[in-house]
Amino acid sequence: MSRPVPRDELNLPLAVTSLMRGVVYRDTAETTWRHVLGLTAQVSDYVATLGLVVVIDEAEGYAFLRSKSDDELADLGIPRLVARHQLPLHTSLLLALLRKKLAEHDTTDAGNRLVLTSEQLREMIGPFFPASTNEARTADQADAAVRRVTDLGFLRRMPGQDGEYEVRRVIKAYVDAQWLSDLDVHLAEYAEISREERR
């Protein structure tokens, strides 16, 4: 367990700018994590002026900023700081599959981290690409989806382990339980789309 930072040494600019840059993880940014925890109320007040909310999950060890709802932003009279973008189909699908895999992993006593190889990731998403005689092209498309999910911060390349990725637990905050419970329906829809594209 990390020791708290003394109150007079806490650094609000470090906490806020780190959160503005992306997710802060306890295991990879322990010092920043301690500043975020020690200044939770101040960080919340500061980012609220920008229409943002700080989300901290101490049990899972991550913190990030989320935009307030469109209705709340309208009430405040401020625009959304970061525009929403729709993710490509296979990126969304891979996120959902990873979230499901993490939920299955958590029901076992396999340890805290879920690590998957490039090959396992390709196998997960491969069936949802149209059938092709060009296996290299399908592998490239799968790898592109993996890169996108890695760039978004939901997968992390394992240092010193070529072709291995850790599924970051923050994915639980983005792919919620309701969506996960409907996942089988969504997967059936994706599979049907894929079958139609193969005809």
pLDDT in the model for residue 197: 56
pLDDT in the model for residue 133: 66
Q: Record the tokens describing residue 37, joined without a space.
A: 């925890």
pLDDT in the model for residue 73: 85
pLDDT in the model for residue 88: 83
Question: In 62-181, which residue ranges form alpha helices assigned H by DSSP?
Answer: 70-76, 89-106, 118-125, 135-151, 171-174, 177-181
Residue 84 region by backbone torsions, left for phi larger than 0, else alpha for psi between -120 and 50, else beta: beta
pLDDT in the model for residue 3: 67
Sequence ranges of the chain with CATH classification 1.10.10:
7-76, 89-198
pLDDT in the model for residue 2: 59
pLDDT in the model for residue 196: 61
pLDDT in the model for residue 184: 67
Regions of the chain where pLDDT drops below 70: 1-3, 109-111, 132-133, 177-184, 186-199
CA 71 – CA 86 distance, rounded (Å): 20
pLDDT in the model for residue 187: 67
The sign of the dihedral angle between the CA atoms of 139, 103, 111, 31 is positive
Q: Is the domain defined by 89-198 classed in CATH 1.10.10?
A: yes
Domain 7-76 falls in which CATH fold? Arc Repressor Mutant, subunit A (1.10.10)
